[in-house]
Structure formats: C-alpha cells, structure tokens
Amino acid sequence: QVQLVESGGGLVQAGGSLRLSCAASGSIFSINAMGWYRQAPEKQRELVATITSLNSTNYADSVKGRFTITRDNAKNTVYLQMNSLKPEDTAVYYCTADLRRTLRSSWVNYWGQGTQVTVSS
C-alpha cells in the first residue's frame, strides 16, 4: 500500500506564510514527480505546483513568485512554501505523487486526503 500524508495547513492572515509537507510511504519503488493541487469553494481542482525527481518545477501563474515547491527524495517528501498569502489561496490542498510500486509496474498517481489552508483578510 501507498500513503500520502499532508501536514502544515491552517489559518493565516493575508500576507502571511505557511509551509505544507507531504510524505509518501509504503511500497514504493520510484517516485517520478510530486506536486500540489488545490480546490477552493465552488471551484474545480487546479494545479498549484509540481516537481520532478530532477527538480524541474512547474507553477500555476497565480502562485509564481509567492510559492516554492521543493523535494527531499531521500524522505519521499515534498514541501510547498507559501508566502504572501492571499484570501484567494484559501482551499483544500492535495498532495499527489506519480510513482510506481515495482520496476514492472506502471506509473500511477496517488493522492493524499488534503489539508485545509484558510487565509483571512
């Protein structure tokens, strides 16, 4: 089995910062990429940021310059440093990992349960 566990969400004032963490555990052979998505009230889930095992990153335009995604491959953990937070960043943030459980397995996306980020004005 594979588990993704997010942490670090909470309530913060506009302009503040939060750091999200997500650790993948279980039967994992290799992780190609990890990332973060979010779903705000009455909106569809959207990409926030992704990072590959070679540290290639991709960000949504709305968070560029404010959020930074990093990865610790040894710990199978991805982080999202969120600075200059805005009320529109309020959402449930979901961690995802593109991984295979064995050498013969296909690449599959796994998802965490989500962590709430609320930015007050």
- The whole-number pLDDT of residue 3 equals 96
pLDDT tens sequence across 103-112: 999 999 999 9
DSSP readout, 35-62? EEEEE-TTS--EEEEEEETT--EEE-TT
Residue 108 class from Cβ within 10 Å (0-12 exposed, 13-18 middle, 19+ buried)? exposed
Q: How far is residue 3's CA from residue 113's CA, in Å, rounded to a whole number?
A: 9
pLDDT tens sequence across 27-84: 999 999 999 999 998 999 999 999 998 999 999 999 999 999 999 988 999 999 999 9
- The whole-number pLDDT of residue 43 equals 95
Contact between residue 80 and residue 93 where contact means Cβ atoms under 8 Å apart: yes
Q: How far is residue 96's CA from residue 42's CA, in Å, rounded to a whole number?
A: 21
